[in-house]
Homo-oligomer: A and B are copies of this chain.
């Protein structure tokens, strides 16, 4: 006997519920984009209420008995591969969501909106004490959330990690981060001599023109993209035809060239997901580390590529700033220990993450008090990178994440660097060196390979399986060490 009619009905109902949840996710992303890019400052309180209402409603819908009933009647049903994945991930999401009380979910959303608002002010005034109560509130809520999600003897922190990277364990994470902490310091020391920083003072206007020109080379056009400015660059997507990246322009710097390609990598991932997954639970990036691997691939392996520097130099020239490809490249790869994560070179960058991983774990575990964070930050940066932090703006106030309640997010940046390097090696092994294409600003082969091996799957594959399928190897640090070795003259 076939259960086909019941299966058909249950699938249809499930699909329409998942589509509604996807729509609400997109709305929440718009509200958040809007808060950071467009909103008048006094709109924060109302926006907090609105995000809370949305989170409460989404949580109610995500945990509805109706979904459980669909899942139950789909138990053992005859499904095709796509349906099977949809149901598998729906079951996972439903069970996780059922562990969080509605009111907690709403309060977290409210605290996140409030926290980001206060953080912007505190950062502007370099006033950690102003920010501390919001951080305290976010931490308490994150601990509560972690406790709800934790399985058996899992720590709250590990439970929070799985928000961003499902299935990632603290043990695995420590394995790779410890590996980096062991290998990188010696390389950094050599690289600071072999590949010193060579600043390039590009006027803001030329940066703007070049960023627009480079993104155009990459296929960014007005009818389905927006490029805006925000304090902290980020990416938002609201459907295949609506990608937004933000950047920031610091006069006399080149950071915007890197950060705009970084954000482009995030956006391209979402755009190249199989259209069949749109408005299902599988239609977004699978994890934060895979997402960051996409941004880091474009930042480290394209924007910092010596050949692509020639194409970028051409765009800068179009913006009225003459520079050789060699000099531009040199300005983008110099190694120097510095306090700011987002402007760190690719070699010191992972140690910024090791620091945050240590600190946020201690904050969540209650081993570090909020009041002691500024000093602990200074101490950690001294120990790992050997540098002194002069102010909290250069220290623990620099990133938006904790203000938004995102704990367990930072590690994905380091994993992203490792995965990017491993993917870039696999890509060039398969389709050949991209130097010639990149020198001419041609990126279609890269877009195509990533679409085929990474993007199209959406959430159908989790991080580790995806890495192994795309690269033929489990996640490791070798490809990354191979990528950074030349910086140290090795």
Q: Chain A: residues with CB nearer than 8 A to chain B?
A: 19-20, 23-24, 26-27, 30-31, 34, 38-47, 49-50, 52-54, 56-57, 61, 222-226, 238-243, 279
Contacts and interface: CB of A to CB of B under 8 A. Distances in A.
Contacts of A56: 20
A45 B239 contact: yes
A461 to B, nearest CB: 24
A222 B38 CA distance: 11
Contacts of A40: 222-226, 241-243
B50 A242 contact: no
Contacts of A30: 30-31, 34, 50
A49 B283 CA distance: 15
Contacts of A61: 57
Contact of A44 (B20, B26, B241): B241
A106 to B, nearest CB: 10
Contacts of A53: 19-20, 23-24, 27
A276 B275 CA distance: 47
A147 B42 CA distance: 42
B23 A50 contact: yes
A242 B43 contact: yes
B224 A42 contact: yes
Contacts of A242: 39-40, 42-43, 46-47
Q: Give the copy number.
A: 2
A13 to B, nearest CB: 15
21 contacts: A19-B49, A20-B57, A23-B49, A24-B53, A27-B54, A30-B34, A30-B50, A34-B34, A40-B223, A40-B241, A40-B243, A41-B223, A42-B223, A42-B224, A43-B239, A43-B241, A43-B242, A45-B241, A46-B240, A47-B239, A49-B239
Nearest to A54: B27
A59 to B, nearest CB: 13
Max chain B CB contacts within 10 Å: which of A31, A41, A44, A46?
A46
A46 B226 contact: no
Given A24-B53, A54-B27, A241 B46 contact: yes
A49 B223 CA distance: 18
A27 B239 CA distance: 18
Contacts of A31: 27, 30
Nearest to A21: B53
Contacts of A34: 30, 34
A25 to B, nearest CB: 9
Contacts of A24: 50, 53-54, 57
A241 B46 CA distance: 8
B241 A42 contact: yes
A86 to B, nearest CB: 18
A20 B40 CA distance: 22
A46 B49 CA distance: 24
Given A50-B23, A53-B23, A38 B38 contact: yes
Contacts of A41: 222-224, 241
Contacts of A49: 19, 23, 239, 279
Given A19-B53, A27-B53, A41-B222, 7 more contacts: A30-B31, A30-B34, A34-B34, A40-B242, A41-B224, A45-B239, A46-B238
Given A27-B54, A31-B27, A57-B57, A43 B279 contact: no
Contacts of A50: 23-24, 26-27, 30, 238
Nearest to A34: B30
Max chain B CB contacts within 10 Å: which of A27, A41, A54, A240?
A27
A225 B43 CA distance: 9
Contacts of A239: 43, 45-47, 49
A135 B363 CA distance: 57
Contacts of A238: 43, 46-47, 50
A30 B47 CA distance: 10
Contacts of A43: 224, 238-239, 241-242
